[in-house]
Amino acid sequence: MVYRLIGLARSIVACVVAVTALALAPGAGAQGVGVDIYQRAPLAEAAMRGDVARLRGLLLNGQSPNGVDLEGRPAILLAAWGNHVEVVEALVEAKARVDQRDRIGSTAMIAAADRGFVRIVELLIEGKGNVNLENRQGMTPLIVAAQKGHAPIVELLIKAGAKLDQQDLGGRTALEWAQLNNRRQVVDLLKRAGAKS
């Protein structure tokens, strides 16, 4: 029992040392980069919460618009996931990499397409986001939007040049996902645009 407690104490000390080293890394203190209890750097935290005033302040103080949290999620993806339009606008204006991926290969555009956030997808397209990037499962923004039945987003992506017949890792296209999930409006949009069954 005593040996288990000693092992546990050592593990806790090792974690505290690792987090402290990250927070005090060269350049971190000068730019206010720390870590909160949710393991998010301040820019990523502001993006996730939709705090555009704090985010702009951090950018003015030299924070990179491409900041990620400790889980590897880019600030722009966190903002897109939360439908924080003003934050996405600020990050695009600050020249954030709109196609920056998280650890599973998802992008802000895939997140916005998944959640049905039309204005976010528009902003990312305006910011030169790649409408054909896929995550590790081969899912593109078009495939995700078609699967979920988000017709306005499907229409936007088609107009922006999304590949209609791109397949996910399972071999399904956007049209096949729309048919499988009985998304009739999306099926009609894709067929009119030239998608093949």
Is the CB of residue 186 less than 8 Å from the CB of residue 158?
Answer: no
| Mean pLDDT calculated for residue range 44-57 | 96
| Mean pLDDT calculated for residue range 12-29 | 44
Question: Which CATH number belongs to the domain containing residue 174 in this structure?
Answer: 1.25.40.20
What residues make up the domain containing 54?
39-130
| Mean pLDDT calculated for residue range 56-81 | 94
Residue 34, pLDDT score: 47
CB-based contacts of 184-193 (< 8 A; 24+ apart in sequence): 185/149, 185/151, 186/145, 186/146, 186/149, 186/150, 186/151, 186/154, 189/151, 189/154, 189/155, 189/158, 190/146, 190/154, 190/158, 190/164, 193/158, 193/164
Tell me if 9 is assigned to some domain.
no
> Where a domain ends, among 130, 162, 185?
130
Tell me if 7 is assigned to some domain.
no
Q: Give the count of domains, the chain.
A: 2
120 falls in which pLDDT band (50, 70, 90)? very high
37 falls in which pLDDT band (50, 70, 90)? low
| Mean pLDDT calculated for residue range 104-121 | 97
| Mean pLDDT calculated for residue range 53-57 | 96
Residue 26 CB burial class (10 angstroms; 0-12, 13-18, ≥19): exposed
More confident residue, 135 or 29: 135
Do residue 64 and residue 99 come from a single domain? yes
Q: What is the pLDDT of residues 141-195, one digit of tens each?
A: 999 999 999 999 999 999 999 999 999 999 999 999 999 999 999 999 999 999 9
Tell me if 19 is assigned to some domain.
no
High-pLDDT (> 90) share of the chain, %: 77
> Where a domain ends, among 86, 107, 130?
130
40 falls in which pLDDT band (50, 70, 90)? low
70 falls in which pLDDT band (50, 70, 90)? confident
| Mean pLDDT calculated for residue range 28-56 | 72
**DSSP-based helix, strand, coil % in the chain, nearest 5:** 55, 0, 45
Do residue 95 and residue 45 come from a single domain? yes
Instruction: Tell me, rounded to whole angstroms, the distance of Cα 64 from its chain centroid.
Output: 16
112 has a pLDDT exceeding 80 = yes
